[in-house]
Amino acid sequence: MKFPIVTATLVSAALLFVLWDQTREQPPPIDASRFTKLASHPAKLSTTVDWVITQVPSLCEKATGQAEGAEAYASCVKKAQARTSTCRRGVYDRFPSVVASDAVFRDLSITLIDCLVPGALG
Summarised one tens digit per residue, pLDDT across range 67-85 is: 888 899 999 999 999 999 9
Over range 54-60, report the average pLDDT.
91
> What percent of the chain is modeled with pLDDT above 90?
63
User: What pLDDT sits at residue 91?
Assistant: 94
CB 83 within 8 A of CB 91: no
Angstrom distance (rounded) from CA 28 to CA 18:
20
Mean pLDDT score of the chain, rounded to an integer?
A: 90
User: What pLDDT sits at residue 102?
Assistant: 94
Q: What are all long-range contacts of 47-50, with beta carbons under 8 Å and residues at least 24 apart?
A: 48/99, 48/105, 48/108, 48/109, 49/88, 49/91, 49/92, 49/108, 49/112
Query: Is residue 122 predicted with pLDDT exceeding 70?
Result: no
CB 94 within 8 A of CB 86: no
Query: Is residue 104 predicted with pLDDT exceeding 90?
Result: yes
pLDDT-derived band of residue 33, with 50, 70 and 90 as boundaries? confident
Q: Report the candidate in 101, 98, 82 with the shortest Cα–Cα distance to residue 49.
A: 98
Residue 66: DSSP 8-state: -
Angstrom distance (rounded) from CA 40 to CA 102:
11
User: What pLDDT sits at residue 120?
Assistant: 67
Taking the complete model, does pTM exceed 0.85, yes or no? no
Angstrom distance (rounded) from CA 59 to CA 67:
11
Over range 94-100, report the average pLDDT.
94
